Chains A and B, each alone.
Chain A
Amino acid sequence: MAALEKQNADLQTAIANAQMAGDNGWMLVSSALVLMMSAPGLILFYGGLVRRKNVLGTMMQTMAMMGIITVLWGLVLYSLAFGHGNSVIGSFEHVFLKGVGLAPSPYAPTIPEQTFMVFQMMFAIITPALITGAFAERMKFSATCVFLTLWSIVVYAPMAHMVWGAGGLLNISGGRIPCLDFAGGTVVHITSGVSALITALYLGKRIGYPREAMPPHSVVLSCIGAGLLWVGWFGFNAGSALNAGTLATSAFVTTHFAAAAAASGWTLAEWLKTGKPTALGAISGAVAGLVGITPASGFVTPMAALWIGLIVGVFCFLMVFFVKAKFGYDDSLDAFGVHGAGGTMGAILTGVFATVVINPAYGAGKAVGLADGNVHQVVNQLIGVAIAWGVSIVGTLILLFVVDKTIGLRVSAADEAEGLDLSQHGEEGYHSELVAH
């Protein structure tokens, strides 16, 4: 009898170990996929969109985030985002990764906490990097580093805690205003996109904008970058299931469907508007769709994902083509037009299309979104959006003011004309044969 019990216990342990190995394998791959979105994905996407004299300056801004945010995440950011604090911010319980070991945490019971920690770190890296698209070609490198470092403490950590952290205000399990944000539509895309708009407005336009032509120096690089973003996004969204189960599959499928629908939607809208479907339009649409599906990816059906992609793709196209032109702000690479607008629309549509069929987020049989008849969820989503906009606007304005008054934000007119590559880094992305010997 005792032998049988022991055999049973051994079997249970073997099953648990097998599940942990499978989940951990997927989550480590997902973490790497999300980092791939920063470099090489975003680096190439943004790098191709600027003029050739700014290609390295732009790439360096994302590279810098990979360095700085990683260090800061281990020191304090992880604790501020996921420590047990109040409803707005975490605590210092995990500073220097204290207590973050190889045993699972309540956030993800089948993977080591260090895997969860490193997966979340990759989100914290790409989010400030996305903002650089709005102020491309004109901010000092030193100011970029200081501003975005402070931003990740003042804006990112509280938003991540509010939405995903234990006891967070917007957390779907136990928060006062439960918001649906599967993979970071609110935490990543609204915060970065809105902060991007504020930064573009605060900094002002690039010299010569919009009179001078400032076309991308290599749409080829941007196409490769966007492709890597699309692939990496499977880790971003499907990884947010935090295990290798069926929900990861569902998020994977919705992610792909939305990106495809949005790429098609943007391209078609552009074709109708200008008479030509551009490659840049197709990849911009794909990214917009990926942004739009991010909050919804673990809550909606594949057909709902098609609708979300189509709506967000066309919406972002309208923002970039008409709204930006009307208001005249210089969001250089459309960080707001794609991430801010797409994230906001995606968050709202999540409240519309989320269904218990895919994810019984509030318990078996309880309605999730409007699709199930839960009107209230759309209101919650709107409140979540409003809070994310508010935190981003206020936090970003304060930080821009502080950095501007201390070390200064913008490069000199001469440095801007010379380009960030030479003026900030003393190197060039492309040498002429004449000087390269």
Chain B
Amino acid sequence: MQKIEAVIQPGKLDAVKEALIEAGVTGMTILEARGHGRQKGHTEFYRGREYSVDLLPKIKIEAVIPDAVVDRAVRAILTAAQTGSIGDGKIFLSRVDEAIRIRNEDRGEVAL
């Protein structure tokens, strides 16, 4: 099992969600997030004072998926979330030792 964490542009959520389901991902968690990569933020003006906002609104998607689905899931996100512009986001993959369904205590990939 692997955990896939993707930080994407808020406007790309629906497209990425659909692409992941299409790729065989059964469950996911969506978080509203703020952050930035290497790009700069933007500037806001209030009565002559200038504020630079460098923590930009993002969406973070988390899903734990079977190893067999990982490549397809990554490709799905890349296809759905990519605009080619700065700020498109990142994908992180990490190993997951165990998954347990709270309802009936299923363990492993069957719990996903």
Contact = CB atoms under 8 A, between A and B. Distances in A.
Leading 5 A-B pairs by shortest Cβ distance: A321-B48, A213-B51, A215-B46, A215-B51, A278-B45
Interface in A244-292: 270, 273-274, 276, 278, 280-281, 284
Contacts of A273: 48
10 contacts: A215-B44, A215-B46, A215-B51, A270-B48, A274-B45, A276-B45, A281-B47, A320-B48, A325-B48, A334-B47
A216 interface: yes
Contacts of B48: 270, 273-274, 320-321, 325
Nearest to B51: A213
Interface hub of B44, B48, B50, B51 (most chain A Cβ within 10 A): B48
Interface in B29-72: 44-51
A210 B50 CA distance: 11
A180 to B, nearest CB: 30
A276 B44 CA distance: 10
B47 A321 contact: yes
Taking residues whose C-beta sits less than 8 angstroms from the other chain, chain A's interface range is 10 to 19
A197 B81 CA distance: 52
A160 B41 CA distance: 51
B55 to A, nearest CB: 12
Interface of A: 210, 213, 215-216, 219, 270, 273-274, 276, 278, 280-281, 284, 320-321, 325, 334
B24 to A, nearest CB: 31
A284 B47 CA distance: 9
A216 B45 contact: no
B contact patch SS:
strand
Given A270-B48, A274-B50, 4 more contacts: A210-B49, A278-B46, A280-B47, A325-B48
Nearest to A212: B51
A contact patch SS:
helix
Contacts of B46: 215-216, 219, 278, 280
Contacts of A215: 44, 46, 49, 51
A213 B55 CA distance: 13
A295 to B, nearest CB: 24
B102 to A, nearest CB: 19
Contacts of A270: 45, 48
B51 A320 contact: no
A207 to B, nearest CB: 17
Contacts of B45: 270, 274, 276, 278
Nearest to A277: B45
Contacts of A320: 47-48
Contacts of B51: 213, 215
A416 B47 CA distance: 23
Contacts of A334: 47
Nearest to A216: B46
Contacts of A219: 46
A68 B51 CA distance: 38
A213 B53 CA distance: 10
A334 B49 CA distance: 13
A136 B45 CA distance: 20
B50 to A, nearest CB: 8
Interface hub of A213, A284, A325 (most chain B Cβ within 10 A): A213
B43 to A, nearest CB: 9
Nearest to B52: A213
A330 to B, nearest CB: 12
Nearest to A317: B48
A274 B45 CA distance: 8
A137 to B, nearest CB: 15
B34 to A, nearest CB: 14
A316 to B, nearest CB: 11
A146 B43 CA distance: 40
A321 to B, nearest CB: 4
Contacts of B44: 215
Contacts of A278: 45-47
A174 B49 CA distance: 47
Nearest to B50: A274
A102 to B, nearest CB: 46
Nearest to B44: A215
B56 to A, nearest CB: 15
